[in-house]
Structure 1
Amino acid sequence: MRFLKLSLCSLLLLLTVLLSGCWDQYELRELSVVTGLGIDLVDDETIRLTIQVINPSELASQEEGTGRSSAQNYETFAPTIQEAFRKLTEKAPRRGYYSHIASVVIGESAARAGLTNFLDHFYRDHEIRTDFPIVIARGYEAKEILSVIPPIEEIASIHIMNSISYGENSYSLVTATTLDDLFEKIVGPGIDPYLNGITINGDETVSKQIANVEEVKPIAFLQLGDMAIFREDQLVGWLTEEETKGLLYLTGNIQDTSETLPCPHGQEGSFVVETYSTKTTMDINYEGDELNVNIDPEIHGTISEVNCEQLDITSKESHAYIHDALEQKINELISETLARARDEHVDFTGIGREVYREQPTYWKTIRQDWYEAFTQANIEVHTEGNVVESGDVNNTFNIEDYKHDH
């Protein structure tokens, strides 16, 4: 028995020799934590990669800071993304750690050249996660966006991530698109990508200086805005605010937003419906070469503000008017978006994907000429609005009526 125990212990000791352990480990003090990346196209053969690295000692300081920036930006130039990453060792004193990337910014010229030229490496590299949001710099290079010192968040790349997260849940012009989402739309049949745009609002020069955050009103700030639209992987244009709203209603990606609607009977003023739930279905059918598409958004909302003297929201007549006004507004927004997609000969609406899913046989006959078929399709939008609440009160208070009653 004793011999058996000794033999077993010896075997276990020998097996530990075969264990590799943490052969590729790096101590934290040997790493630079990368929170943001910027990609710009300098010329046909050169990429500028901007790498934003946090300064942990400055962020963690409990006392007055040292005056150093909370982040440093390093720029490298190379013909490929992989080589640009490797060249970071020429400038940065530590190895880059890429598992905490908060956002990636792509310059407008690089986006027009084609996204797959730059994003292939991100999917292949096992050290890089793919759940970070991607935005397109409008009117600026990516390096300029990452150089802005935000007024609240201390690091531009983290500011972008948090702004997208908040905006997606609070307004309809922002939607988080990760690398996984983008890849699915680029390679998927019948759909083109769209990405949030970002720009600098204010004095670009001051935006890079600490003086930008020393004022109550920031001199410059980063602003998420117009949606970038693509044909396959190449940027072709930008949607307006109304077109962006229409797109997100059409695709059912609106979580919480507001619509300002006119008062009834031609009276001055307006009322606001906060939409909090959207579900959009599409019905696809064809007769011969004629494609018919019925888009049916179902919108749920609540009245959040009333500035109408003659809108009694407790009456059936007013209730019907509210529903009709909301449905008409959503129909108009979606129609504007569809018209823009047809004019650009792109399909970021996803209608082609629904044709592929619902009518695969028909899709095989028109997939090579889908953009032309899309422009010729009969598309109808029928919104169903359902406004069920009015907040904590029913009708708005009227000062003159209040004085008269008392």
Structure 2
Amino acid sequence: MKRPLAVFLPFAVCVCLLSGCWSKKELTDLAFVIAVGLDKTEDGKYLASFQVVNPGNVAGAVQRGGGAAGVPVSIYTSTGDSLVEASRKASEKVSRLLYYAHTNLVVVGEEVAREGMDGVFDALERNQQFRTTARLVIARGHSAKDTLSVLTPIDKISANKIIKTLEFSELAWGQTMNADVWWAIRSLASPGRNPVVTGVVIEGNPKEGKRQKNVQSSVPDARVTLKGLALFKHARLIGWADGPTARGIMWVLDRIHQTNLTIPWGGKREAIGYRIVRAKTNVEADVKNGQPSILVHIKAEGDISEARVPINLADTGVLFRLEKQFERGVKQEVAKAIETAQRERTDVFGFGEAVHRADPRLWKKIEKEWHDRYFPELDVTVTADLYIRRTGLRNRPYIEE
């Protein structure tokens, strides 16, 4: 009698502890939100745009004339005084429950970013379904709704196109950053750093980009491309950095993986190309007599990618002069980036964190005035060591003297 009871009792306890399926959600009742766009209406309310996948038009759809049988995504919009209210009100338009566990992209309109992102980040981080690993971009020149509405020809889901472009652009070019929501939140939480976020623009006609024919043409009427880095200060967008200045920021942040530099040579502009294959940046702070200073040291190596002037790449003296010229180019980009950030009074490099590590007591005294008083006057020394590892299959270009 005791043995059957001993066997039955653990099973009875387990049954009592199991929660069952009280919180189940059927797939047919869920609308998978892949991307969220945030704008402001004329009366100051939030305009939330939800990019929802149409499953039947993404997987197994019959190809017709170069495009899918139907539009792969649908855009639903809703307004509210807060993001949560806008999300709840969307239930009036969507026949399913909005599900954010697969949201991979957040597009914030420029107006929302300039007013402040505190409330946006608070709502996103508190949502139990939302993952802070979602990528974050700023819609530049157009609304977030228009950005998400453009259909893309290669990637059926336009949000995936933006995400992949962020990844590969940072790896190959280095003027944009593949940042997520958690990166921005951590940067805002640190008194010694402000976030930078990549901007996205629409090239072409946004209205035509919403139509199915945009993916049925070899030259789409509208494309979503990356452009520049948004500079933030205390959760507010205050300016933009483009081109070499944006890459200078990436150099300091140690986010350069590969890129290409060109320098003048022999009286010709952009004559010699240099492809960087690996790079490392170290940032250190030094405090003397209560005054902090920063040392930025960049070390990189790469190959000669092209030579458009007569030059003997077998000559070690020539290679040495090329390395010095490339080093000057990198230091100029970094110096321009630091000058821009100091003018905007926003430490996007994390120099304040370096000062905190070097002298916690001093940082406690200057923390509150760091961005407006100390950072704009901060002494920053930039050094660079660039090495040419390979010159390619030819030491002498086809171009002759």
Distance 1:261 1:362 in 2: 41
Q: Decide whether the 8 Å contact of 2:299 with 2:385 is kept in 1.
A: yes
**What secondary structure, in the 3-state scheme, does the structure 2 residue paired with 1:63 have?**
coil
Counterpart position of 2:102: 100
Distance 1:245 1:144 in 2: 27
- The reply on whether 1:142 has 2:144 as its aligned counterpart is yes
1:30-109 matches, cutoff 5 A: 30-43=29-42, 45-64=44-63, 67-109=69-111
Which letter does structure 2 place at the counterpart of 1:7?
Answer: L
Counterpart position of 2:327: 327
Counterpart selection for 2:185 from 174, 180, 183: 183
Q: Decide whether the 8 Å contact of 2:290 with 2:362 is kept in 1.
A: no
Further displaced range: 139-148 or 381-390: 381-390
Counterpart position of 2:339: 339
Distance 1:272 1:5 in 2: 82
After superposition, the Cα gap between the structure-2 partners of 1:149 and 1:267, relative to the gap in structure 1 and judged at 3 Å, is closer
Distance 1:332 1:348 in 2: 18
Counterpart position of 2:296: 295
Further displaced range: 25-34 or 62-71: 62-71
After superposition, the Cα gap between the structure-2 partners of 1:353 and 1:52, relative to the gap in structure 1 and judged at 3 Å, is same
Counterpart selection for 1:8 from 6, 20, 37: 6
Q: Decide whether the 8 Å contact of 1:307 with 1:396 is kept in 2.
A: no
Deviation string 1:323-366 (CA, Å, 9 cap, x unpaired) is 11110000000000011111111111221221112121221222
Distance 1:375 1:64 in 2: 57
Counterpart position of 2:130: 128
After superposition, the Cα gap between the structure-2 partners of 1:57 and 1:374, relative to the gap in structure 1 and judged at 3 Å, is same
1:205-284 matches, cutoff 5 A: 205-263=207-265, 265-267=266-268, 270-284=271-285
Unaligned runs of 5+ residues in structure 1 are 402-406
Distance 1:11 1:367 in 2: 61
* Structure 1 residue 92, shift from structure 2 partner: 0.8
Q: Decide whether the 8 Å contact of 1:189 with 1:356 is kept in 2.
A: no
Distance 1:342 1:268 in 2: 30
Counterpart position of 1:404: none
1:152-167 matches, cutoff 5 A: 152-167=154-169
Deviation string 1:384-404 (CA, Å, 9 cap, x unpaired) is 11221223x142442769xxx
After superposition, the Cα gap between the structure-2 partners of 1:268 and 1:67, relative to the gap in structure 1 and judged at 3 Å, is closer
* Structure 1 residue 313, shift from structure 2 partner: 1.6
* Structure 1 residue 170, shift from structure 2 partner: 1.2
Which letter does structure 1 place at the counterpart of 2:237?
Answer: L
Further displaced range: 79-88 or 42-51: 42-51
Distance 1:166 1:133 in 2: 14
Which letter does structure 2 place at the counterpart of 1:40?
Answer: D
**What secondary structure, in the 3-state scheme, does the structure 2 residue paired with 1:382 have?**
strand
Which letter does structure 2 place at the counterpart of 1:378?
Answer: D
Which letter does structure 2 place at the counterpart of 1:164?
Answer: L
Distance 2:358 2:37 in 1: 39
Distance 1:140 1:269 in 2: 33
* Structure 1 residue 219, shift from structure 2 partner: 1.8
Distance 1:312 1:193 in 2: 44
* Structure 1 residue 22, shift from structure 2 partner: 2.7
Deviation string 1:248-281 (CA, Å, 9 cap, x unpaired) is 0111101111111222x43566121111222112
- The reply on whether 1:306 has 2:294 as its aligned counterpart is no
Q: Decide whether the 8 Å contact of 2:307 with 2:397 is kept in 1.
A: no
* Structure 1 residue 212, shift from structure 2 partner: 1.8
After superposition, the Cα gap between the structure-2 partners of 1:161 and 1:267, relative to the gap in structure 1 and judged at 3 Å, is closer
Deviation string 1:164-222 (CA, Å, 9 cap, x unpaired) is 12212111112111111111100102111110000101112211112222221122100
User: Percent of aligned positions with the same letter in both sequences?
Assistant: 26
Deviation string 1:26-46 (CA, Å, 9 cap, x unpaired) is 121121111000011225651
Counterpart position of 2:194: 192
Cα RMSD for the two superposed structures: 1.9
Distance 2:283 2:400 in 1: 49
Q: Decide whether the 8 Å contact of 1:202 with 1:219 is kept in 2.
A: yes
Distance 1:63 1:212 in 2: 18
**What secondary structure, in the 3-state scheme, does the structure 2 residue paired with 1:258 have?**
strand
After superposition, the Cα gap between the structure-2 partners of 1:269 and 1:396, relative to the gap in structure 1 and judged at 3 Å, is farther
- The reply on whether 1:390 has 2:388 as its aligned counterpart is no
* Structure 1 residue 21, shift from structure 2 partner: 2.0
Q: Decide whether the 8 Å contact of 2:132 with 2:181 is kept in 1.
A: yes
Further displaced range: 189-198 or 62-71: 62-71
Further displaced range: 125-134 or 285-294: 285-294
Which letter does structure 1 place at the counterpart of 2:284?
Answer: D
Which letter does structure 1 place at the counterpart of 2:93?
Answer: K
* Structure 1 residue 308, shift from structure 2 partner: 2.1
**What secondary structure, in the 3-state scheme, does the structure 1 residue paired with 2:367 have?**
helix
Deviation string 1:229-252 (CA, Å, 9 cap, x unpaired) is 011200001112111010001111
